[in-house]
Amino acid sequence: MRLLLPYLALYRRHSGRMLLGILLAIVTLLASIGLLALSGWFLAASAVAGLAGLYSFNYMLPAAGVRGAAIFRTAGRYAERLVSHDATFRVLSHLRVDTFTHLLPLSPGGLARFRQADLLNRLVADVDTLDHLYLRVISPLVSALVVILVVAAGLSWLDATLALLLSGILLALLLLLPLIFYQAGKPVGRALTGLRSDYRVGLTAWLQGQAELVIYGAADRARQALEATEQQWQRQQQRQATLSGLAQAIMFAATGLTATLMLWLAAGNSATGGALLALVVFTTLAAFEALGPVAGAFQHLGQVIAAAERLQAITRQPPMVSFPAQGTALASPALQLDHVSFTYPGQPFPVVKGVTLRVAAGEHIALLGRTGCGKSTLLQLLTRAWDVQTGSLQLGGRPIAGYDEATLRRSMTLVPQRVHLFNTTLRDNLRLAAPEADDARLCEVLHQVGLSALLESSGLNSWLGEGGRPLSGGEQRRIGIARALLHDAPLVLLDEPTEGLDAETEQQILALLRQHCRGKTLIMVTHRLQGLQHFDRVCVMDGGEVVEQGPHHALMAAGGRYAQFHARLA
């Protein structure tokens, strides 16, 4: 239960709405009890009065009470649903933001062992499961407790013994049934949460890997594994449905037995005889309505706790890279790497081995090499996605670990290999790099990167869809470059910026980047030779080391690795 305390703390942000929802639930339950009890008494009293009491019996006041209770129940139920669900959705939005806020500092190191589908399931489905805590546990429990006390106080005006008996039975059920069914449903809830995640992860993998599964003849085996998980999930759902049915059966039995007991005791009491007998019985029946959701609700508490455990398994990890709260200001975009080495967690061999490199302010450097030689990893070290394990890395003459994250991000412009596009408008995707940029500036950079066609239909309001599905790979790449043009930083880091572009467009983009980066420090990772003669220096990497560096003409004259690349591609 302690696992839920951090999430209950988030609930305090919307305590007003939640308390209002509970209050409306209490009013609705009391109105329902009043409606049934008053209706039963009214009918019984009318029958007892008969025609002889037509002029002496007050028919108007009870009838008005019945109508008022009916109106309060209907309006209260609507308002309670509206307020409770509004509060729940607000809490869920904060839970998602809070969870994502904890996830972001963990990327990429702390999240590397989790599959993307699993992360998505935890961020969406497991957070959604936490809404049971308020809707199905807190609100019904508090409402039932208050209603029991109010009903006991009301009945005590007629007979204190009957009031104590009814409230004692209701309180015993309120305490015992949730505890019993929580213990019974806890393993089922954990299993359901785990199997739901396993099924969704497996389904995502099966859908994404259809081509490979068919090619290697593993499609049937993968489908059978998925169906086996689904069958286990359905069995656990059946177990939960059985527990829910048992809880309802116990509640129905308790309702009938208690109503019979109250009828027997009230019938032998002169203070509750006659028409008041119907009031006592119907009050008993209606009071059990407050307990209806409680026993079944605590079955879901196992799922809530399991979801909280899954979320905290990620969010409680210490980040592998931490930033100071306040750092120093950037004095210069010069870089200095001294014997820098790095090995990914769980890997036996280093990806970057003893790299020593000096990059002066305003210098343009190209990192050239085959796939897997450590070029992109070196860029990740420069952005502090990872920290160097041995050696030192300085930016502007100071250790890079001394800069706070905001200063470091303002000082760098990064175009990664994979450009992330969000399910929103073209304008919003561009303004990620420059929130203050106006539409004229956004249109200008789109013309510069050759994406004027995107403005022809809906302009900057064009919807890019999830992951930029309507766009080709080259168009997505150029949107990343457009962001780089919008983000005016002194250090520019480019990771394969022309990948997926034709030769003519590649030349245009490289010329545009050279012009934009005049006076800026530029480091470009590439495995292509186009335009490298314009760089101040080319550093050839192999096996995690810089094996050769110098200007284009000097490396060509030396006849080394760089010249061999040119000879093979000529």
Which residues, 6 or more positions from 262, have their beta carbon under 8 angstroms from its beta carbon?
162, 165, 166, 280, 281, 284
| pLDDT (tens digit per residue) in 90-100 | 888 888 888 88
Percent of the chain with pLDDT over 90: 22
Confidence of residue 125 (pLDDT cuts 50, 70, 90): confident
Phi-psi region of 374 (alpha: psi -120 to 50; beta: other; left: phi over 0): left
- pLDDT of 150: 92
Q: In sequence order, which ranges of 298-349 are alpha helices (DSSP H)?
A: 301-315
Range 477-484 average pLDDT:
90
Cβ proximity of 521 and 535 under 8 Å:
no
List the domain boundaries for the chain: 2-315, 335-569
Cis? peptide before 108, omega within 30° of 0: yes
In this predicted structure, the answer to whether residue 272 has a pLDDT above a threshold of 70 is no
Query: Cα(273)–Cα(250) distance, rounded to whole angstroms?
Result: 29
| pLDDT (tens digit per residue) in 378-417 | 999 999 888 898 999 999 888 898 888 888 888 999 998 8
In this predicted structure, the answer to whether residue 208 has a pLDDT above a threshold of 60 is yes
pTM score, two decimals? 0.73
Bridge partners (DSSP) listed for residue 366: 524, 538
Query: Cα(559)–Cα(556) distance, rounded to whole angstroms?
Result: 6
Bridge partners (DSSP) listed for residue 523: 365, 493
Q: Which fold has domain 2-315?
A: ABC transporter transmembrane region fold (1.20.1560)
Range 471-479 average pLDDT:
86
For residue 129, how many C-alpha atoms fall within 13 Å in the half-sphere facing its CB? Answer: 26
Cβ proximity of 298 and 137 under 8 Å:
yes
Cβ proximity of 147 and 37 under 8 Å:
no
Confidence of residue 339 (pLDDT cuts 50, 70, 90): very high
For residue 113, how many C-alpha atoms fall within 13 Å in the half-sphere facing its CB? Answer: 7
- pLDDT of 558: 87
What is the SS3 assignment for 211-267? Answer: HHHHHCCCHHHHHHHHHHHHHHHHHHHHHHHHHHHHHHHHHHHHHHHHHHHHHHHHH
In this predicted structure, the answer to whether residue 13 has a pLDDT above a threshold of 60 is yes
Weakest mean pLDDT among 190-194, 440-444, 448-452, 466-470? 466-470
- CATH no., domain 335-569: 3.40.50.300
| pLDDT (tens digit per residue) in 497-508 | 888 888 888 889
* Mean per-residue pLDDT over the chain, rounded: 86
The dihedral sign for the CA sequence 258, 261, 265, 268: positive
User: Residue 54, Cα to own-chain centre: how many angstroms?
Assistant: 65
Confidence of residue 304 (pLDDT cuts 50, 70, 90): confident
In this predicted structure, the answer to whether residue 298 has a pLDDT above a threshold of 80 is no
Cβ proximity of 364 and 539 under 8 Å:
no
Query: Cα(39)–Cα(124) distance, rounded to whole angstroms?
Result: 46
User: Residue 42, Cα to own-chain centre: how many angstroms?
Assistant: 53
In this predicted structure, the answer to whether residue 469 has a pLDDT above a threshold of 80 is no
Range 528-556 average pLDDT:
89
DSSP 7-55: HHHHHGGGHHHHHHHHHHHHHHHHHHHHHHHHHHHHHHHHHHHTGGGTT
- pLDDT of 342: 92
Bridge partners (DSSP) listed for residue 491: 412, 521
Query: Cα(502)–Cα(449) distance, rounded to whole angstroms?
Result: 13
